[in-house]
Amino acid sequence: MLIGLQIRDVVLIEALDLSIGPGLTALTGETGAGKSIILDALGLATGARGDAGLVRRGAAQAVATAAFAPAPDHPVWDLLEEKGLAYARDEDLVLRRTLSADGRSRAFVNDQATGVGVLKELGEALLEVHGQHETVGLLDARTHRPLLDAYGALDGQARAVADAWGAWRTARDQVSALREDVARSAAETEELTFRLSELDRLDPREGEETELAEARAVLGAAEKALADIGSARDTFDGLGGKVAGAIRALERARERALTAGAAAEGPAVSRLAEAAEALDRVLMEAAEAEAAIDAAAAAFDFEPDRLEKTEERLFDLRGLARKLNVPVEELPALRVKFAERLRAVESSEESLKAAEAAQAAARTDYLAAAGTLTQARRAAGDRLAEAVMAELAPLKLEKARFRVAVEPLAEDRAGPAGLDRVAFEISTNPGAPFGDLGAIASGGELARFALALKAALAGRAAGAQPLMIFDEVDQGVGGAVADAVGLRLKRLASAAQVLVVTHSPQVAARAEAHWRIAKAGDAERIRTAVEVLSPADREEEIARMLAGAQITDAARAAARALMDA
């Protein structure tokens, strides 16, 4: 609901602050008084095209601010969310537009700078304009299908179609993905098989690189130790024979000494005996040392080719890891991954067949739900056409005919809303072909037709109702027709907020609120003023509309009768 309109320096309005209530508000005044300026300012605040001519002469800029109090479930909040604008559902929504004298324009939503296009989208969600020069909302064929679904209470069926569409689209996406998998499977299978065979041949284990590196270090040290032991062992080779030969040589020398007459107890013979005994002890110690060296070598548990095998294994693992561009410790997990992917690729054909069957079933479900919705829409369209036709005659549109065209769409244009193109069409004269609503030439007729359609839809539309503005919907009619217009506006205003610019006393008499727009000032300065009328002032204004410049008691009595009707 629009709750306030603030206007600064727009055409003939220098400053104006209006509070707006629910129900039907009538704007009256002499032709040229500036009633359209109010609507122009509201249009400026809600994203309509801004022209520098709207800026009051002598002013730097025009400013129009519209404050709305949308219901918590109003779709405008979702639009704000989509646009990334801050809001609070329990606070007012304020749209503001500035227009400079050079034509530059700025837009704000709750004091947040935004684009004029965003302001226009918000305005389209918040209000409809039906008038002499434009009809916003009903002329947009995109609104016809939602309006028809709301009128026919088809929301449940529409949701079923949207759900079926979602399931079909998901199934199609799955089929598309699997088809791509199958197309890649030949080359991928060959690559996976080769890589997996390499991994299977090596059979890498978790933590194996660390184990091999440690084992290589230990085996390398052991190999060097054994080499040192071998060197020591080589030192003893031939040592025993040399010592034994020395003992024998000493024995011969002792025997020769005794033969030469030396005393057995003499110094020479004694020294030779001592030397022979010492060498004998050396021979025994050497034998023991050699045995100890052999025992030390035997204590090393070393296989000659074990180090070579360890290094070869470590090099193989690291080489494959480099080839696959992963650390060695990830080889076991990669092996599992390749195996799983290979199984998935090999089973993709079967998966594709199952997905294609699911897609076909989802398509059948969607087409069935969409077909049911189409029939329901056609039935609802016939009822809506009948209801609108009943409204046309009292509004002096008795020659017009209205229909709801529900035309099938090709399957490739299927969507969550079904397989229908819904359009409201009209024929303005007998025998004339049906066409879209824009074919109505007269602005007054178009506004009255919009009123007839809105009256037929009243109470059946889903969601929060927008502000509806009717600009001179009563143009060219009077008497009973004008009264019919007022009655239908009053009916609409029972469930929505309605503003009407009118010259008809029958329409003005039906309003809950009444504004009189007039020009004031002198030759130097003319401005537009808006007066909110009291009940007594309303009677006088309606009497003026009935009688003209000279207001009579009879006109006042007639005004009271209209207001009491």
My answer on whether 459 and 550 are in the same domain is no
CA distances from 208 to 329, 527, 535 (A): 8, 93, 97
Residue 403 domain flag? no
- CA-CA distance, 369 to 376, in Å (whole number)? 11
Report the Cα 540 to chain-centroid distance in Å.
Answer: 57
Residue 393 domain flag? no
Placement of tokens 């309509």 in the chain? 48
Residue 447 domain flag? yes
- In the prediction, which pLDDT does 527 show? 84
Residue 257 domain flag? yes
My answer on whether 208 and 316 are in the same domain is yes
Which residue blocks in 325-438 are alpha helix, DSSP H? 331-346, 348-392
> To which H or E segment does residue 177 belong?
helix 155-202
**Of 70, 61, 75, which is closest to residue 110 (Cα–Cα)?**
70
My answer on whether 210 and 115 are in the same domain is no
- CA-CA distance, 447 to 130, in Å (whole number)? 5
My answer on whether 312 and 208 are in the same domain is yes
- In the prediction, which pLDDT does 471 show? 84
- Find out whether 467 and 127 touch, Cβ atoms under 8 Å: yes
My answer on whether 459 and 544 are in the same domain is no
Placement of tokens 């009633």 in the chain? 35
Q: What residues contact residue 284 under an 8 Å CB cut-off, 6+ apart?
A: none
- Find out whether 69 and 35 touch, Cβ atoms under 8 Å: no
CA distances from 417 to 16, 157, 247, 498, 538 (A): 44, 10, 119, 30, 48
Based on its alpha-carbon atoms, the radius of gyration of the chain, rounded to whole angstroms, reads 52
Residue 558 structural domain:
534-565
My answer on whether 497 and 557 are in the same domain is no
Placement of tokens 């909040």 in the chain? 77
CA distances from 564 to 451, 489, 518, 532 (A): 23, 16, 26, 20
Residue 119 domain flag? yes
- CA-CA distance, 101 to 59, in Å (whole number)? 7
My answer on whether 19 and 93 are in the same domain is yes
The token pair that represents 42 in the structure block: 């509201």
My answer on whether 50 and 10 are in the same domain is yes
Q: Which of 346, 378, 404 is the last residue of a domain?
A: 346
What is the identity of the amino acid at 72? P
The token pair that represents 450 in the structure block: 């919009």
Angle at 521 between CA 517 and CA 525, to 5 degrees: 115
Backbone angles phi, psi at 471, to 5 degrees: -100, 105
- CA-CA distance, 168 to 180, in Å (whole number)? 18
Total number of domains constituting the chain: 3
End-to-end CA distance of the chain: 27
- Find out whether 59 and 49 touch, Cβ atoms under 8 Å: no
Q: What residues contact residue 563 under an 8 Å CB cut-off, 6+ apart?
A: 509, 535, 538, 539, 542
My answer on whether 124 and 230 are in the same domain is no
Angle at 489 between CA 486 and CA 491, to 5 degrees: 110
Report the Cα 228 to chain-centroid distance in Å.
Answer: 75
- In the prediction, which pLDDT does 303 show? 62
Q: What residues contact residue 299 under an 8 Å CB cut-off, 6+ apart?
A: none
> To which H or E segment does residue 67 belong?
strand 61-68
One digit per residue, the tens of pLDDT, for the chain of length 565 reads 899 999 999 998 999 999 999 999 999 988 777 788 898 999 999 998 888 889 998 899 999 999 999 988 888 999 999 999 998 888 999 999 999 999 899 999 999 999 999 999 999 889 988 865 555 567 778 889 998 998 999 999 999 999 999 999 999 999 998 888 777 776 677 788 888 888 888 888 887 777 777 766 666 666 666 566 666 666 666 666 677 777 777 778 777 777 766 555 667 767 777 777 787 787 777 777 777 766 765 655 556 676 677 777 778 888 888 888 888 888 888 888 888 878 777 777 788 899 999 999 999 999 999 999 999 999 999 999 999 999 988 888 888 899 999 999 999 999 999 999 999 998 888 888 888 876 665 666 777 888 888 888 876 654 556 788 888 777 777 788 889 989 999 988 888 899 999 889 999 999 999 999 988 776 567 788 889 999 999 999 999 988 877 888 899 999 999 998 7
Characterize 337-353 residue by residue with b for buried, 16 or more Cβ atoms within 10 angstroms of its Cβ, and e for exposed. Answer: ebeeebeebeebeebbe
Characterize 387-400 residue by residue with b for buried, 16 or more Cβ atoms within 10 angstroms of its Cβ, and e for exposed. Answer: bbbebbebbbbeeb
> To which H or E segment does residue 99 belong?
strand 93-100
Question: Where are any strands of DSSP class E within 373-491?
Answer: 401-408, 420-427, 435-436, 467-471
- In the prediction, which pLDDT does 462 show? 47
Output the domain CATH number for residue 109: 3.40.50.300
**Of 114, 149, 134, 137, which is closest to residue 40 (Cα–Cα)?**
134
My answer on whether 285 and 201 are in the same domain is yes
- In the prediction, which pLDDT does 261 show? 63
Residue 169 domain flag? no
Residue 399 domain flag? no
Handedness of CA 356, 361, 365, 367 (dihedral sign): positive
My answer on whether 120 and 250 are in the same domain is no
Q: Which of 302, 327, 346 is the last residue of a domain?
A: 346
Residue 240 domain flag? yes
